[in-house]
A = this chain, B = another copy of it.
């Protein structure tokens, strides 16, 4: 089931699979047509026969990732708890394959990742008496929070400590200086705490 790269003829599916492995392991920049053809033990040009071109390959890859997302289950006793659990699960799922979700985001398909939980969240919102345009706005705010959390998390991960401030001292050298605040801001943020803070605020605003 796993050793699929046999001597049998190549399929478009094989190409997308191999491309997915490259991106997941070494990032989008590592996915060149030549590297891909090498991994498949085939000439560069046969890739083009199967998937058209690089752009089409990325489209197919994004579709594959979206299809792999699967359904999530709301857990908790109150509507708000259940919505929070959905948001947390979606976030966790996205963080599992950072490079691939970066690709999805680059292709502006991030909202599609939210679809599997949209209906479930709508049910919870209905339980709170929200529907129509109001429910849509809440849904989108939650969606934006989850996506933002993942996108920013990935950014932090890429460049671990690039947080030094150029005009830091100048900006803070006034009477209002709060030493503990400044010290805290110079540390790396607790991402989970930050995610939970925004999540709680949004749910409370419903």
Contact = CB atoms under 8 A, between A and B. Distances in A.
Dominant secondary structure at the A interface: helix
Contact of A171 (B119, B138, B178, B194): B119
Interface string A141-169: 10011011101100110110011011110
B194 A135 contact: no
Protomer copies: 2
Contacts of A176: 119, 122-123, 126
Interface stretch (A82-90, A92-100, A198-206): A198-206
Interface string A99-137: 000000101111110011011001100100001110111
Contacts of A184: 132-133, 135-136
A122 to B, nearest CB: 6
Nearest to A112: B165
A180 interface: yes
A172 B163 CA distance: 43
A123 B200 CA distance: 24
Nearest to A127: B176
A111 to B, nearest CB: 6
B118 A185 contact: yes
A144 to B, nearest CB: 6
B145 A178 contact: no
A197 interface: yes
A87 B4 CA distance: 52
Contacts of A108: 155-156, 158-159, 162
Given A112-B165, A132-B181, A137-B194, 12 more contacts: A108-B162, A112-B163, A126-B178, A133-B180, A135-B178, A140-B189, A141-B197, A144-B149, A145-B148, A148-B148, A200-B205, A201-B201
